[in-house]
């Protein structure tokens, strides 16, 4: 079986990580994978080797329509059984190119809920759905959204949860943790609350995180707040820290490759987004045994469960509710110990890489059966 994947570019994003993890697992099962990137790659993931069959189509500007024909030409040359596209731009360009190349089995992936789509984009996506074989989503909430808001037939949707590499379930050595505390200038006795999200998108809502941090800091002064991620909004959020008088307890760490290690020294993981799919950072935190406080965006509730055993889910934008939920967890040591076990168990049972790869493999085999 040959599968050709289309993605915007290979970098550190959640979809990119899932694709790289999937292609590694599929190759172990004898599946031949080709990856087409629309744009030049900004950062091949350090966790993975460069794919054996990887091509950059090289879109030069927004209206570079030659991209479609160059991609179609590559698809014809590779002769895949399946064309699998991964993100909105990839879904659009990859689906049209696959149709030009006369490929019958096309899979789109929808990985987040966006209630603020422009009417034109919504119309285009509805049109695309007519020409694809299946749409994969990484949460049931996204499936329900597509059915209710975009008129997609339920039979066309397949829910496949994100997967985690085995190393995320392995403990981090104490000396590594001690070295990290020293590097960050943090005493190992303090509570550490971490948010992991890029600083380019307003929908990650770091302002909500910082306002919650301000409330928590007034009641629990032995707490440090880590912001992992880089982007154009960093100056804006540093200015907000100053306005909230929390400069001394908030650390901007920039883009990091040691997320697993940072989670190992984290007391509580926060997510404050208003738009999400099924965030990898949540299940990575759970695999590390870290309780979570998250907004009710996309599949976040689905990721940690609604029974409160792995953390708390609060309304989008409600920084007071986020602070309150965080304080309740931090102030109850016995509850935190129980949450640690529940988090690890839930992550292992629902979000393993092996399970994710097997689910995609079953889907691929089911779809190409009629086309063989």
Distance from C-alpha of 100 to C-alpha of 331, rounded to nearest angstrom: 59
- Whether 166-350 and 2-163+352-371 are alike in CATH topology: the answer is yes
**pLDDT tens digits along 29-55:** 889 999 988 887 666 555 555 566 777
pLDDT digits (tens, 9 = 90+) for 2-16: 999 999 887 767 888
- Over the stretch 165-221, which tens digit does the pLDDT of each residue have? 888 999 999 999 999 999 999 999 999 999 999 998 899 999 999 999 999 999 999
Give residue-wise pLDDT tens across range 205-261.
999 999 999 999 999 999 999 999 999 999 999 999 999 999 999 999 999 989 999
Question: Which pairs from 118-127 meet CB under 8 Å and 24+ separation?
Answer: 121/88, 122/150, 124/92, 125/88, 125/91, 125/150, 126/150, 126/151
By the 8 A CB rule, do 35 and 9 touch? no
- pTM exceeding 0.75: yes
Residue 336 in tokens: 């935190």
CATH of 2-163+352-371, one of 3.40.50.2000, 3.40.640.10, 1.20.1050.10, 2.70.70.10: 3.40.50.2000
Lowest-confidence segment of 107-116, 137-146, 235-244 by average pLDDT: 107-116
Quote the mean pLDDT of the chain: 89
Q: Does the structure show a pLDDT above 60 at 372?
A: no
| Cβ partners under 8 Å of residue 215, min gap 6 | 319, 320, 323
- State the pLDDT at residue 319: 97
| DSSP string computed for 135-154 | EEESSHHHHHHHHHHH---G
Residue 327 CB: number of other CB atoms within 10 A? 18
**Token couple for 193:** 């609350």
- The string of pLDDT tens digits covering residues 74-86 is 999 999 999 999 9
64 pLDDT more than 90 = no
Other CB atoms within 10 A of residue 371 CB: 11
Query: Between 206-219 and 234-243, two packed helices, what is the crossing angle to 10 degrees?
Result: 30
Count of helices and strands (H, E) across the chain: 14, 13
Burial of 288 (0-12, 13-18, 19+ CB in 10 A): buried
Domain boundaries, the chain: 2-163+352-371, 166-350
CA distance 270 to 350: 20
Edge-to-edge, what's the strand order for the sheet holding 292-295? 250-254, 223-228, 191-196, 268-271, 292-295, 311-314
Q: What is the DSSP string of 98-164?
A: HHHTT---EEEEE----TT--HHHHHHHHHHHTT-SEEEESSHHHHHHHHHHH---GGGEEE----B
Neighbouring C-alpha atoms within 13 Å toward the C-beta of 327: 16
Alpha carbon distance 156, 192 (integer Å): 43
> Distance between CA atoms of 297 and 314, rounded to whole angstroms?
9
Give per-residue pLDDT as tens, 323-353.
999 999 999 999 999 999 999 999 999 999 9
Superfamily of domain 166-350 in the CATH hierarchy: Glycogen Phosphorylase B; (3.40.50.2000)
- CA nearest 93: which of 273, 234, 101? 101
Cα 305 from chain centroid (whole Å): 17
């Amino acid at each position: 079986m040959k599968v050709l994947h289309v993605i915007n570019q290979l970098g550190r994003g959640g979809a990119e990580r899932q694709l790289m993890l999937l292609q590694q697992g599929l190759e172990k099962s004898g599946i031949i994978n080709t990856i087409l990137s629309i744009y030049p790659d900004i950062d091949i993931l350090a966790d993975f080797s460069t794919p054996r069959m990887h091509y950059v189509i090289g879109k030069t500007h927004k209206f570079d329509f030659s991209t479609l024909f160059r991609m179609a030409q590559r698809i014809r040359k590779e002769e895949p059984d399946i064309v699998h596209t991964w993100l909105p731009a990839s879904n659009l360009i990859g689906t049209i190119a696959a149709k030009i190349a006369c490929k019958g089995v096309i899979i789109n992936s929808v990985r987040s809920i966006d209630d603020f789509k422009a009417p034109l984009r919504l119309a285009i996506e509805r049109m695309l759905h007519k020409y694809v074989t299946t749409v994969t989503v990484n949460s049931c909430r996204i499936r329900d959204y597509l059915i209710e808001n975009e008129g997609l037939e339920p039979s066309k949707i397949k829910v496949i949860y994100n997967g985690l590499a085995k190393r995320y379930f392995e403990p981090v050595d104490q000396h590594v943790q001690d070295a990290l505390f020293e590097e960050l200038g943090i005493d190992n006795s303090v509570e550490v609350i971490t948010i992991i999200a890029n600083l380019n998108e307003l929908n990650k809502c770091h302002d909500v995180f910082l306002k919650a941090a301000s409330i928590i800091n007034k009641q629990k002064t032995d707490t440090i707040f880590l912001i992992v991620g880089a982007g154009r909004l960093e100056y804006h959020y540093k200015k907000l820290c100053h306005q909230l008088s929390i400069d001394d307890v908030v650390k901007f760490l920039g883009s990091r490759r040691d997320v697993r290690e940072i989670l190992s020294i984290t007391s509580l993981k926060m997510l404050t987004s208003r738009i999400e799919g099924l965030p990898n950072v949540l299940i990575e935190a759970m695999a590390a045994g870290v309780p979570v406080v998250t907004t009710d965006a996309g599949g976040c509730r689905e990721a940690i469960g609604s029974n409160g055993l792995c953390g708390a889910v609060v309304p989008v934008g409600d920084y007071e509710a986020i602070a309150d939920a965080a304080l309740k967890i931090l102030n109850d040591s016995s509850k935190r110990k129980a949450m640690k076990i529940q988090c690890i168990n839930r992550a292992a049972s629902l979000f393993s890489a092996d399970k994710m790869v097997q689910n995609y493999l079953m889907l691929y085999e089911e779809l190409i059966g009629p086309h063989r």
